[in-house]
């Protein structure tokens, strides 16, 4: 199994001057939330920036 997290660095707030801070916010949020999700093949969820724009997704896939 493989966990894949993708963020479009040219989308939403992530594309702005605070790119690193916004990416850090996304990673901290999902780092804390992982204990509440099922990590099984096919699991997926959209990622949103602080402006509620969809900027990516995480998913679990077969290796």
Each domain of the chain, given as residue ranges in start order, spans 2-61
Look at residue 63 and tell me whether its pLDDT is greater than 90.
no
Per-residue pLDDT band for 1 (boundaries 50, 70, 90) equals very high
How confident is residue 19, by pLDDT bands cut at 50, 70 and 90? very high
The continuous run of DSSP H or E covering 25 comes out as helix 19-33
The 10s digit of each residue's pLDDT in 37-52 is: 999 999 999 999 999 9
Task: Note whether 51 and 13 are within 8 A (CB).
Answer: yes
Tell me the whole-structure pTM to 2 decimals: 0.87
Structure letter (DSSP) for residue 42: T
Share in percent of the chain as helix, strand, coil (round to 5): 35, 30, 35
| Spatial distance between the Cα atoms of 51 and 57, rounded to a whole number of angstroms | 16
- In a 13 Å sphere around the CA of 2, the CA atoms on its Cβ side amount to 6
pLDDT at position 23 is 96
């Amino acid at each position: 199994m493989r966990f894949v997290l993708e963020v479009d660095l040219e989308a939403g707030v992530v594309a702005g001057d605070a790119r690193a801070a916004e990416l850090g916010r996304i990673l901290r949020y999902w780092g804390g939330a992982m204990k509440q999700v099922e990590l099984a093949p096919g699991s997926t969820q959209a990622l949103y920036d602080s402006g509620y724009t969809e900027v990516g997704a995480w998913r679990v896939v077969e290796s």
